[in-house]
Structure 1
Amino acid sequence: MNEHAKVNDYAAVVEQATLKLERLLPGPAERVWSYLTDSDLRRKWLASGPMDLTVDGPMELVWRNDELTDPPGSRPEGFGEEHRMQSRVTEIDPPRKLAFAWGGGEVSFMLEPKGGDVLLTVIHKRISDRANMVKIGAGWHAHLDILKARLEAIAPKPFWDHWSHLRDDYEAMIPA
């Protein structure tokens, strides 16, 4: 990491039903962009699936969180081996911004060069309720930690164990 101040890894509730997370990642922006848009690279930290990189273009995210880290850790009850979500791109400005629908909400990724690094800002809007804010906050946090590890070529923490620990943190942090 360079001279820029360390960003807080935890999500912040920036308005009702909205979480914001930031990560300072090794650049350049085009490299980070490829990890957002290329299915083979995205599956290494989040979810695979085709993405039509046009506004209103269809996309699918296919989560296989057991495959993100070796070992994967202990999968909590209520989660399966695979989860799929059909979606569509709502905004695209390579390599600066990508946004897509997420259920009744929207997720956006903004990339801002900071010297040789890139500040990635993730904003997840219109989260249905507090319980989902806790799960989603822990989820984005854990997935972004894996992305950072992949970009730094270091081994990430076991996904499920890390997510479970973060879920407890977010349970204490997210207002009732």
Structure 2
Amino acid sequence: MGDRHGTVFRTDDGRTAIRFERLLPHPPEQVWHAITDPTRLSAWFPAVVDLNQPAGTALYFGVTQEQRRRYGMADDPNRSPNGRVLRNEPPVVLEYEWSGEVLTWEIARTPTGSRLVFTNVLAEPDAAGPAAAGWEAGLEVVEAQLDGRAVSWDPLNRAEELAAAYE
């Protein structure tokens, strides 16, 4: 795919969403593992969470160590759920709510591996640019992990570099 950037669009109900598509030379089971394994998530996902839960399960998305260090963010001391699993159908669909947003990961088998489609329906339309830059940076890490390449860059710094493409 020539364009690695996400597409920002309006949903049928008028909300703002971001969509990314990647063709990956890996089977769906490996892609699923890359987007759900807590160890792998810790390298790129903007929260600490266990996504390996059945549909209907309440989720708590915690603050990462890097968010604490960089931004002084802190976890909710009560760890009140701020999300919920909507669909969990390995290795095809993972969908969850997180603080008013809906995130959907769809994986389809292709002749050469998988097609990953990620959609984030946003709670705040003004967040589209920064969110898209962050997800693109995260997807770069996912691809490196799948390919067995070392991640020699910081995804938060990379998101800042990519932000201009979404202004």
- TM-score, normalised to structure 2, is 0.80
CA-to-partner distance for each residue in 1:98-137, whole Å, 9 max, x for gaps?
A: 000022220000001122321111111133122x111111
Q: For 1:122 and 1:140, locate their aligned partners in 2 and report how far apart those are by CA, in whole Å.
A: 9
Is 2:145 aligned against 1:150? yes
Rounded Cα–Cα distance in structure 1 between residues aligned with 2:92 and 2:74:
30
Q: Residue by residue, what CA displacement relative to the aligned partner does 1:72-110 show, whole Å, maximum 9, x if unpaired?
A: xxx5xxx34677883110112211100000222200000
Matched residues in 2 for 1:115 and 1:153: separation? 21
| Cα offset, 1:166, TM superposition | 0.8
Measured at CA, do residues 81 and 127 of structure 1 come closer, stay the same or move farther in structure 2, by a change above 3 Å? closer
Matched, 1:137 2:136: no
- Segments of 5+ residues of structure 2 without an aligned counterpart are none
Q: Report whether the alignment pairs 1:59 with 2:54.
A: no
1:51 and 1:58 in contact (8 A); partners too: no
Aligned residues: 155
1:125 pairs, out of 121, 124, 131, with: 121
Contact 2:28 2:92 in 1 (8 A): yes
Distance 1:145 1:83 in 2: 27
1:88-103 paired onto structure 2 within 5 Å? 88-103=84-99
Report what 2:155 is aligned to: 159
* Residues 116, 82 of structure 1: alpha-carbon distance in 2 compared, 3 angstrom cutoff: farther
Aligned position for 1:71? none
Q: TM-score, normalised by structure 1?
A: 0.76
Amino acid of the structure 2 residue aligned with 1:8: D
Partner of 1:87: 83
1:55/1:91 contact within 8 Å kept: yes
Tell me the residue number matched to 1:174: none
The percentage of counterpart residues that share the same residue type is: 23
Amino acid across the alignment from 1:30: E
The CA RMSD measured in Å over matched residues stands at 2.4
Deviation readout 1:35-58 (Å, 9 max, x if unpaired): 222212222331442235211112
